[in-house]
A and B are shown apart, each in its own frame.
Chain A
Amino acid sequence: MLERLVHRSLLAAACVAAVGLTACEPTNQGYAPEQPIKYSHAVHAGGLKIPCQYCHYAAERGRYAGIPPAGLCLNCHRQVLPDHPEIQKVKAAMEQGKPIEWVRIHQLPDHVYFNHSIHVAAEFDCQTCHGPVESTARVSQFAPLTMGWCLDCHRKGTPEGSRLTPVAATRANRLTDCSVCHH
């Protein structure tokens, strides 16, 4: 009898704890870790107006936008500010043959398959999801990247005036199928 009582109260306690804790949002929004190199989007994208896809060239090709290879940085920085201490780090990486380990900010769970290229083709501004990157020195996660947030757009279907042909596939209801992102 006593066992049963203890057992029941433990179960109840666990339930209460669960309800209390789930109220907190499971998101990394606002996550802005320190990076190995103090790269500033504000300087490059904001000040110099370098297009996002100059460096993140994979965004229009496939799933990942990609982080530019160190070699791409040095295409300019062999001439521009070659002695800057942060550039020196890039050079050192190149010389040692050791790739730079950036801290990943935008992480989707493993069971989500997001494809950058189709969103680029649909002419979404990068800022729609990534926020005003061009005015921030240190990148942070702008959007919550939760499923509900994705669906807010997907329920609307392909935006008006998009370059995408209005094939049947873009109908709003098709873009809310589970298998669009989960497979």
Chain B
Amino acid sequence: MTRERDTKTPWMDLDTSLAPRGPERSDEGGATPAFFARRDFLKLAGISATALAACERLPVRHAIPLLVPAEDVTPGVAVHYAGTCTACPAACGLVATVRDGRPVKLEGHKGHALSQGGLCAVGQADLRALYDGHRLQRPSLGGKDVTWAELDAAVKTKLDEVQAAGKKVVVLSSTLVSPSARQAVLSFLAAYNGTLIEHDPGPGAPSALREAYQILSGRALAPWFDASKADLLVSLGDDPLGTGPDPVAFTASWAARRRAAESQGAPRHVQIEGSLSLTGANADERWLATSAERRLIALSLLSQVAHRSQGGQAVADALKGLAPLGEFASRVEALAGELLKHRGHGLVVSGANDLGEQLAVALLNRLLGNEGKTVDLTRPSLLRRGLDRELAGLLTSLASGDVGALFVLGLDPVEQGPDGEALKAALGKLPLAVAITDRPTATAAACRVVAAAHHGLESWGDFEPRPGVLTLSQPMTRPLFATRSAFESFLHWSGVPTTDYRLYLMERWRKDVFPGAQAADFGALWTAAVASGSVSGAVAVAAASALPSGSAGPVTEALATAARATPPSHDALEAELIAEVALRDGRRAHIPWLRELPDPLTRASWVPCVRVAPKRAAKLGVKDGDLITVEAGKASVTMGVRIMPGQHESVLAIPVGYGRTDEVKLAGVEAPPSASAQNAYRLAKLEGGRLLLSGLPASARPSGGRSPLPLMQVQSETAGRPVIHQVASYQEKVHGEHLPEGRDLFGPKPQPSPQWHMAIDLDACTGCSACVVACQAENNIASVGAEEMGRHRDMHWLRIDRYYVGDADNPDVLFEPMLCQQCGHAPCETVCPVAATVHSTDGLNQQVYNRCVGTRYCANNCPYKTRRFNWFNNEKKLTDPVERLVLNPDVVVRSRGVMEKCTFCVQRLQASRIAAQKEGRQEWASVETACQESCPARAISFGDQNQAEGALAAQRKKPRAFQVLAELGVEPRVTYLARVRNRQGATGHHGEEA
């Protein structure tokens, strides 16, 4: 921690973090029988087994064809269906690869207007949620399995009673992005005079954002932010790239601007935050500020911009008497100047659930002329609609007994709220409490009626994430269990004639989406929409009505109130609840793929950890992995510590989504020891009609004991090896080490086309880890569990290494996806005693599992540490036949004692070759690897390195291109493009100063 750092050498971790290992285990323990040593026994057993196996006939197997040939289904041939992802409300475009009637891989939909082909880690892992053996399989009443008819009858009877008693009927749901679902729920509620309350737990697009626009524009809406047009992005404690409401769409637009830097000038991104977020890690410049300081910075920026903008006088006047900025004064002044310089080409966003700050940010965008350019209010975001005060109202009326029936749709408020115990008790007392969910959540346990819902991949649905973007989803498989679409349930309870949700959906589309179409035309339009997953051509958007502008009075009043707020005290400790890239709000926290995904910043998997600044850790006297108890108000959480460079000294960041009661039912893999002590939602505070997740006054103390801390990276230094680079401009050349000429021991090899090569643009890569999960899904990569991760026996073929550069208090962060580099002169190949790893004609370093005897020499000789060894028959942990359906039938499942590694998705390359040969095409290099296909930032290019034209060739020619450890002469087949840190200021379009 005290090490002097230069400003250039990348490093990986603080010295104190070194190797906090999991429990040690001795292979040669005392249990060894005296007669045979364990290894000798294995030798004997192995030899005999091989000998006997040689003569055995293959076991009798049956081949069971379909009775009637199904349309679209050819055994062994994949069919792709378009749809929409339902893993979170963002509703990204989806293409499911379906084999023999079951989805085996989810990809992004390239034609989707917003997500543009990317699909995040959570979306990729939603496949695993479909085949989750612990899903709810049938409806239940008071813990007893019932039929749907029985459940419907019970619900209707109770509803009538509730109505007769004059009590309220409420549906509590995460934001309904589906217009048809919304209509179904609202018409159900209309029948019982009930209300819909939308709420999304977790940080990101907070309620105050919509409240600010309600004051400012008369409508509680969240604008659509378009980062692709932003030369200058200023984010105050917001994490739109990692855990915002639509990380894929935002990443796509953010990366589009960076990729266009060569033609449009270098963009610039300033992040002001207390805890290192994924967005902050990608910023060109990062300031550390507490939540109170961020509010003050926002108001000061607004004050300075208002002074220099037309029509800003009233705002400037309201902000008179702002507290002094202290250390930020000069930086804020410079930033205000920069924002003014990029009028109409800037974007300011905030993640605070604070009305003053959100209002300031909204006014900044308005005064700077960003509205209508990077901030769209006419076609806003429809991904978050709830207001915290409505939730607060619900909790009050639940407590007072005004509510008679509560339907909880998809949410788990008992676990994802501040006072779960009270809510649980209230649910128990309600005449009718219905949980509509696919998991045995705590809320489902507290509700008498549990309507087991379909998974999104089993249901029909439509989605409107933004006016004018309308997509469909179709069932990718037959329902696996006796579940029912959540919205079909509402149709049954509201007593409408159409209770088939598909017909209901079509009916609404006939009326609202294609109003003019004749019956025959509608059929064709509908079929086309289902096939493409969206409506082709422009959807009629209601004419962008001029927004009523808020009256000046309330605006200036709110600003003045914010300006008068207590000036920040610098030393007080504050807790900030953060979402992690893998878990987000925690609704999919049971998926092993997501739990095992190492956090891009902490590099820890499976277990939650409180992120503490190095200096604060020293004050508290804690090391990595020490248990710490954080108290905020009456609640507390206890987690292990992770000392994080780039963390504000006064801010403790605590991830939400852990500590769920249904976590014990983690599919197939043993769950880490966890308790409700890890549920960070308990720290949230509902105050003044607003759910506060950050700036919570807190205290912390070491609680003694250690938490397991399975880290993916355990080295602290790069030992002077030039493994990663960052440059100051897009024209700067990387000066890496190169192999001196004439040192090639192997001599030239023939290079027939294609010769596969991958290029990864580290300037576009955000570290979001979608590729890691995509690789896992495509290649049947096992989840090994927390304990094995702690022993560094992770199986990920693709990992994202995280490096720091510079000062430990606020370093630059670099991400480097690291996969098998398919070396031309592969060091692994020369040491394999059984030729299990050999080179292919197209330049791949092949791993032949059936030849491998597990010496692990290759892994030892790999300079990139990208080879993975199967210590166990990991796949045998997938015992549930439903869970085994997730395996990709095109990739072999590896067994114990076998080495494995990235193959550049060779199954896709071979499929592409076969398709090209069958069609008589010469070219077959247009194939995409799984990681490349999932990448929301389009950071990965892949193809034939012999081709002089095309995306791959263009990337490799750029001055920023370098290869990792090229000086070893291994001829890696992966090229990286260095990250650019723009410290100079944006060089895009310059607006005019008013």
Interface residues of A (CB under 8 A from B): 3, 7, 10-11, 14-15, 17-22, 24, 26, 28, 31, 33, 57-58, 61-64, 66-72, 93-94, 97-104, 107, 109-111, 113, 115, 117-118, 121, 164-165, 167-171, 173-174, 177-180, 182-183
User: When chains A and B are docked, how far (Å) is the Cα of A64 from the Cα of B67?
Assistant: 17
Indicate with 1 or 0, residue by residue over B41-76, a CB within 8 angstroms of chain A CB atoms.
Answer: 001100110111111111011111111110000111
Q: Does B728 contact A (CB under 8 A)?
A: no
Q: Does B130 contact A (CB under 8 A)?
A: no
User: Do A18 and B50 touch across chains, with their CB atoms under 8 A apart?
Assistant: yes
Among the listed A33, A67, A167, A179, which residue makes an inter-chain contact with B916, where contact means beta carbons less than 8 Å apart? A167
User: When chains A and B are docked, how far (Å) is the Cα of A117 from the Cα of B51?
Assistant: 35
User: Do A11 and B752 touch across chains, with their CB atoms under 8 A apart?
Assistant: no
User: When chains A and B are docked, how far (Å) is the Cα of A165 from the Cα of B922?
Assistant: 8
Known A31-B57, A33-B60; judge A69-B66 contact (CB<8 A). Answer: yes
User: Do B65 and A69 touch across chains, with their CB atoms under 8 A apart?
Assistant: yes
A107: chain B residues within 8 A (beta carbon): 58, 61
- Additional A-B contact list (4), CB under 8 Å, known A64-B75, A99-B64: A14-B44, A102-B65, A168-B754, A182-B849
Q: Does B134 contact A (CB under 8 A)?
A: no
A98: chain B residues within 8 A (beta carbon): 67
User: Do B917 and A167 touch across chains, with their CB atoms under 8 A apart?
Assistant: yes
Indicate with 1 or 0, residue by residue over B734-756, a CB within 8 angstroms of chain A CB atoms.
Answer: 00000000000000000011100
Question: Which chain B residue lies CB-closest to A11?
Answer: B44
User: Do B842 and A182 touch across chains, with their CB atoms under 8 A apart?
Assistant: no
Among the listed A94, A113, A121, which residue makes an inter-chain contact with B918, where contact means beta carbons less than 8 Å apart? A121
Among the listed A24, A102, A113, A174, which residue makes an inter-chain contact with B54, where contact means beta carbons less than 8 Å apart? A24
Between-chain CB contacts (< 8 Å), 10 pairs: A18-B51, A24-B55, A62-B77, A69-B67, A69-B69, A71-B66, A104-B62, A169-B917, A174-B842, A177-B846
Known A21-B52, A63-B76; judge A99-B65 contact (CB<8 A). Answer: yes
A167: chain B residues within 8 A (beta carbon): 916-917, 921-922, 924
Known A58-B77, A113-B910, A164-B920; judge A173-B66 contact (CB<8 A). Answer: no
Question: Which chain B residue lies CB-closest to A169?
Answer: B913
Task: Determine, out of B187-195, B653-661, B758-766, B888-896, the stretch whose residues face the partner at the interface.
Answer: B888-896
B917: chain A residues within 8 A (beta carbon): 118, 121, 164-165, 167, 169-170
The smallest C-beta distance from A25 to any residue of chain B, in angstroms, reads 9
User: When chains A and B are docked, how far (Å) is the Cα of A58 from the Cα of B70?
Assistant: 12
Indicate with 1 or 0, residue by residue over B775-813, a CB within 8 angstroms of chain A CB atoms.
Answer: 000000000000000000000000000000000000000
User: Do B848 and A113 touch across chains, with their CB atoms under 8 A apart?
Assistant: no
B75: chain A residues within 8 A (beta carbon): 58, 62-64, 66
The smallest C-beta distance from A176 to any residue of chain B, in angstroms, reads 8
Question: Which chain B residue lies CB-closest to A72?
Answer: B69
Q: Does B714 contact A (CB under 8 A)?
A: no
User: When chains A and B are docked, how far (Å) is the Cα of A11 from the Cα of B50?
Assistant: 14
User: Do A178 and B76 touch across chains, with their CB atoms under 8 A apart?
Assistant: no
User: When chains A and B are docked, how far (Å) is the Cα of A108 from the Cα of B677?
Assistant: 51
Q: Does B459 contact A (CB under 8 A)?
A: no
User: Do B840 and A102 touch across chains, with their CB atoms under 8 A apart?
Assistant: no
The smallest C-beta distance from B182 to any residue of chain A, in angstroms, reads 39
Closest CB pairs A-B (n = 7): A18-B51, A62-B77, A63-B76, A71-B68, A177-B840, A64-B76, A67-B65
Q: Does B186 contact A (CB under 8 A)?
A: no
A164: chain B residues within 8 A (beta carbon): 917-918, 920
Among the listed B55, B63, B76, B907, which residue makes an inter-chain contact with A26, where contact means beta carbons less than 8 Å apart? B55
User: When chains A and B are docked, how far (Å) is the Cα of A25 from the Cα of B754?
Assistant: 37
The smallest C-beta distance from B944 to any residue of chain A, in angstroms, reads 10
B66: chain A residues within 8 A (beta carbon): 69, 71, 99
The smallest C-beta distance from A146 to any residue of chain B, in angstroms, reads 12
Q: Does B174 contact A (CB under 8 A)?
A: no
User: Do B65 and A100 touch across chains, with their CB atoms under 8 A apart?
Assistant: yes
Q: Does B392 contact A (CB under 8 A)?
A: no
Among the listed B47, B893, B916, which residue makes an inter-chain contact with A15, where contact means beta carbons less than 8 Å apart? B47
Q: Does B903 contact A (CB under 8 A)?
A: yes
Q: What is the size category of the interface that chain B forms with chain A?
A: 35 or more
Known A58-B76, A61-B74, A169-B916; judge A110-B893 contact (CB<8 A). Answer: yes
A174: chain B residues within 8 A (beta carbon): 752, 840-842
User: Do B44 and A182 touch across chains, with their CB atoms under 8 A apart?
Assistant: no
B36: chain A residues within 8 A (beta carbon): 7
User: Do A68 and B918 touch across chains, with their CB atoms under 8 A apart?
Assistant: no
User: When chains A and B are docked, how far (Å) is the Cα of A94 from the Cα of B69?
Assistant: 12
The smallest C-beta distance from B822 to any residue of chain A, in angstroms, reads 11
User: When chains A and B are docked, how far (Å) is the Cα of A97 from the Cα of B67?
Assistant: 7
Q: Which of B154-189 contact A (CB under 8 A)?
A: none
The smallest C-beta distance from B288 to any residue of chain A, in angstroms, reads 47
Q: Does B409 contact A (CB under 8 A)?
A: no
User: Do A118 and B918 touch across chains, with their CB atoms under 8 A apart?
Assistant: yes
The smallest C-beta distance from B840 to any residue of chain A, in angstroms, reads 4
User: Do B63 and A67 touch across chains, with their CB atoms under 8 A apart?
Assistant: yes
Q: Does B727 contact A (CB under 8 A)?
A: no
B58: chain A residues within 8 A (beta carbon): 28, 107, 109
User: Do A3 and B35 touch across chains, with their CB atoms under 8 A apart?
Assistant: yes
User: Do B848 and A182 touch across chains, with their CB atoms under 8 A apart?
Assistant: yes
User: Do A102 and B62 touch across chains, with their CB atoms under 8 A apart?
Assistant: yes
A28: chain B residues within 8 A (beta carbon): 57-58
Q: Does B565 contact A (CB under 8 A)?
A: no
Indicate with 1 or 0, residue by residue over B534-565, a CB within 8 angstroms of chain A CB atoms.
Answer: 00000000000000000000000000000000
User: Do A21 and B51 touch across chains, with their CB atoms under 8 A apart?
Assistant: yes
Q: Does B844 contact A (CB under 8 A)?
A: yes
User: Do A103 and B62 touch across chains, with their CB atoms under 8 A apart?
Assistant: yes
The smallest C-beta distance from B320 to any residue of chain A, in angstroms, reads 69
User: Do B840 and A169 touch across chains, with their CB atoms under 8 A apart?
Assistant: no
User: When chains A and B are docked, how far (Å) is the Cα of A103 from the Cα of B891?
Assistant: 24
User: Do A22 and B54 touch across chains, with their CB atoms under 8 A apart?
Assistant: yes
User: Do B47 and A18 touch across chains, with their CB atoms under 8 A apart?
Assistant: yes
Among the listed B48, B64, B754, B906, which residue makes an inter-chain contact with A14, where contact means beta carbons less than 8 Å apart? B48
Q: Does B862 contact A (CB under 8 A)?
A: no
Indicate with 1 or 0, residue by residue over B66-103, a CB within 8 angstroms of chain A CB atoms.
Answer: 11110000111100000000000000000000000000
Among the listed B51, B57, B907, B916, which residue makes an inter-chain contact with A17, where contact means beta carbons less than 8 Å apart? B51
User: Do A62 and B68 touch across chains, with their CB atoms under 8 A apart?
Assistant: no
User: When chains A and B are docked, how far (Å) is the Cα of A182 from the Cα of B909?
Assistant: 12
B57: chain A residues within 8 A (beta carbon): 28, 31
Q: Does B40 contact A (CB under 8 A)?
A: yes
The smallest C-beta distance from A23 to any residue of chain B, in angstroms, reads 8
Among the listed A24, A63, A94, A102, which residue makes an inter-chain contact with B63, where contact means beta carbons less than 8 Å apart? A102
A70: chain B residues within 8 A (beta carbon): 65, 67-68
User: When chains A and B are docked, how far (Å) is the Cα of A107 from the Cα of B56?
Assistant: 14
Known A104-B61, A174-B841; judge A169-B51 contact (CB<8 A). Answer: no
User: When chains A and B are docked, how far (Å) is the Cα of A98 from the Cα of B918?
Assistant: 36
User: When chains A and B are docked, how far (Å) is the Cα of A50 from the Cα of B128?
Assistant: 44
User: When chains A and B are docked, how far (Å) is the Cα of A68 from the Cα of B67?
Assistant: 9
A178: chain B residues within 8 A (beta carbon): 838, 840, 846, 848
Q: Which of B805-841 contact A (CB under 8 A)?
A: 838, 840-841
The smallest C-beta distance from B93 to any residue of chain A, in angstroms, reads 26
Q: Does B314 contact A (CB under 8 A)?
A: no
User: When chains A and B are docked, how far (Å) is the Cα of A49 from the Cα of B272?
Assistant: 77
User: Do B907 and A113 touch across chains, with their CB atoms under 8 A apart?
Assistant: yes
Q: Which of B905-945 contact A (CB under 8 A)?
A: 906-907, 909-910, 913-914, 916-918, 920-922, 924
A170: chain B residues within 8 A (beta carbon): 917
Question: Which chain B residue lies CB-closest to A75?
Answer: B69
Q: Does B330 contact A (CB under 8 A)?
A: no
B840: chain A residues within 8 A (beta carbon): 174, 177-179
B849: chain A residues within 8 A (beta carbon): 111, 182
User: When chains A and B are docked, how far (Å) is the Cα of A179 from the Cα of B842?
Assistant: 10
User: When chains A and B are docked, how far (Å) is the Cα of A3 from the Cα of B913?
Assistant: 58
User: Do B74 and A21 touch across chains, with their CB atoms under 8 A apart?
Assistant: no
The smallest C-beta distance from A5 to any residue of chain B, in angstroms, reads 12
Q: Does B569 contact A (CB under 8 A)?
A: no
User: When chains A and B are docked, how far (Å) is the Cα of A164 from the Cα of B916?
Assistant: 10
Interface centre among B51, B842, B903 (most CB of A within 10 A): B51
